[in-house]
Amino acid sequence: MTPRHDSISRRAAVTAVAATAAALPLVTGLPSARAASGGPQFLHGVASGDPLPDGILLWTRVTPEPGAEPGSGRGGALQVGWQIATDAAFDAVVAQGSVTASAASDHTVKADVRGLRPATDYWYRFTADGAASPVGRTRTAPAPGASGGIRFGVVSCANWEAGYFSAYRHLAARRDLDAVLHLGDYIYEYASGAYPAAQYVVRQHAPTHEITTLADYRTRHGRYKTDADLQALHQAVPTIAIWDDHEFANDTWSGGAENHTPGTEGDWAQRVAAAKQAYFEWMPVRPSIEGTTYRRLRFGTLADLHLLDLRSFRSQQAKAGSGAVDDPDRTIIGRAQLDWLKSGLASSGATWQLVGNSVMISPVAFGSVPAYLLGPLAELLGLPKEGLAVNADQWDGYTDDRRELLAHLTDRGIDNTVFLTGDIHTAWASDVPVTAATYPLSRSAATEFVVTSVTSDNIDDILHVAPQTVSLVAAAAVKAANRHVKWVDLDSHGYGVLDVTAERTQMDYYTLSDKTDPKATSSWARSYRTLAGTQRVERVDQPVR
């Protein structure tokens, strides 16, 4: 598709709100006008996010002077100007303003621009003391009454050390996307060589130790935004992001994490506060409720996008064989957020209910997987290695919350709910059954599309064998044991493209040729869709055009 562009007939009114952001190692942007003289530089690119019908959130990080790297605390305050225009040459500037960058925010800034036209392409840039940022392109959401189609790129799980971010490059090149939905694990917290093992590290992140402090998280975020492909994606299309566990630590819950040791790594609450501060500083995210990523974006009458935070409020994951997965006092989502989600689903007048959901909601049993594959699957998916068929970090570990949510969908007659999920480094297309044991004789409450990882290890990476050497056997066993699962790919890396119309929602799955190749190619793998009113997934022979 060719780029869509709507012209503006009058000057838009705007309000700009400065916001803080945290820092990380540097990324190469366009040449700065002051680089040679030691003045400010825009080394981490630009980004936009959370599109509204009349607004967009703009982001950048300015390096005020040499040595003022992310997390360093160095550099004085300076004014950063911003402009937004209807053309890339900025002959038609519709709004401009300035915000202050300082060490308190790690010299990151945001401008929340309002008064724009819906469903319109804009270009934006920043300036500071004679230096200019790269020019970014963004797009506002459709008007409240609009019913036309929307298209999202969908990604998750980008581990810096495991490979290159070619998936971002291919999405940036499309120019037919309204936004990119990032479903979590935008960064990873591990020490260098911890995941993957040192001999398989493709490129080293910074800092090299496991991140636990505010300076650490800022530095890690900054390292990520030095990636040219990540910069290109942010520069090309707005981002809508939620977090999962690795923005904090592995298997995060409200009181700790699998790899957090209070005695040596400090207080968990302080670590979470540092991680959240750095995240909101460095990401083009507009928090509707302070300290969380759950919020709602609307795309005309076609779709409501409900974005969840499944880490801040959850109970600790259940132990294998304890039976606690069914305990009604345990939660993955928290009472307030679950009530917010149920209310939003029930009151929405949109055709589709899209749920940005960081961990899989479809039930999955793994008991029929051959013994020699159960070990690597357990490592990949967080399963008990004894072979018990539950992933306690997913909704399978919190069945009462899932039961309540699915009952709400069926009791209220809420059709066309599609869960969009990441986390497990594999791709899935599934119905979400009310009672998995009797499916397909019993009904489906929703559908779910799970996208694979950008780089994070999957089953063949863990086994260090060629793709599809053994995983096809495991995939067949998973489908045999789970009749609501229509497709699963256990060994590819890539991204999804979600196309939504009034008649159907379709996910096109794309895979990369080699995550360790910075010039990796991309190819279409499969497509699945759910037709309006059916709550069932079916295969499609070709991707959307």
The tens-digit pLDDT sequence of the chain (545 residues) is 333 333 333 223 333 333 333 333 333 333 443 454 589 999 999 999 999 999 999 999 999 999 999 999 999 999 999 999 999 999 999 999 999 999 999 999 999 999 999 999 999 999 999 999 999 999 999 999 999 999 999 999 999 999 999 999 999 999 999 999 999 999 999 999 999 999 999 999 999 999 999 999 999 999 999 999 999 999 999 999 999 999 999 999 999 999 999 989 999 999 999 999 999 999 999 977 778 999 999 999 999 999 999 999 999 999 866 778 889 999 999 999 999 999 999 999 999 999 999 999 999 887 656 656 666 766 666 555 444 456 899 999 999 999 999 999 999 999 999 999 999 999 999 999 999 888 999 999 999 999 999 999 998 888 887 777 777 888 888 898 899 999 999 999 999 999 999 999 999 999 999 999 999 999 999 999 999 999 999 999 999 98
Query: Integer distance in angstroms from the first to the last C-alpha of the chain?
Result: 7
What pLDDT was estimated at residue 391? 84
Which residue ranges form the domains of the chain, and what is each CATH number?
Answer: 35-139 (2.60.40.380), 150-184+293-540 (3.60.21.70)
What pLDDT was estimated at residue 463? 80
- The token pair at 210 is 């496991």
The residues, any chain, with a CB within 8 Å of residue 83's CB and separated by 6 or more, are: 90, 93, 95, 96, 124, 125, 127
- β-pairing, 150-155 vs 179-182, is parallel
Q: Is the peptide bond before 196 cis (omega within 30 degrees of 0)?
A: yes
- Provide the 3-class DSSP secondary structure of residue 236: helix
What pLDDT was estimated at residue 24? 30
What pLDDT was estimated at residue 478? 86
- The token pair at 56 is 């967009």
Quickly list DSSP for 70-108. Answer: TTS--S--EEEEEEEESSTT-SSEEEEEEEEE-GGGTTE
- The token pair at 534 is 């059916």
What pLDDT was estimated at residue 160? 98
Distances (CA, A) of 231 to 26, 30, 169, 473: 11, 11, 9, 38
What pLDDT was estimated at residue 477? 83
Contact call for residues 157 and 241 (beta carbons, < 8 A): no
What pLDDT was estimated at residue 386? 43
Look up residue 36 and give its DSSP letter: G
The residues, any chain, with a CB within 8 Å of residue 540's CB and separated by 6 or more, are: 506, 527, 528, 529
Q: Tell me the β-bridge partners of 505.
A: 500, 530
Look up residue 194 and give its DSSP letter: B
Instruction: Indicate the pTM of the whole model.
Output: 0.91
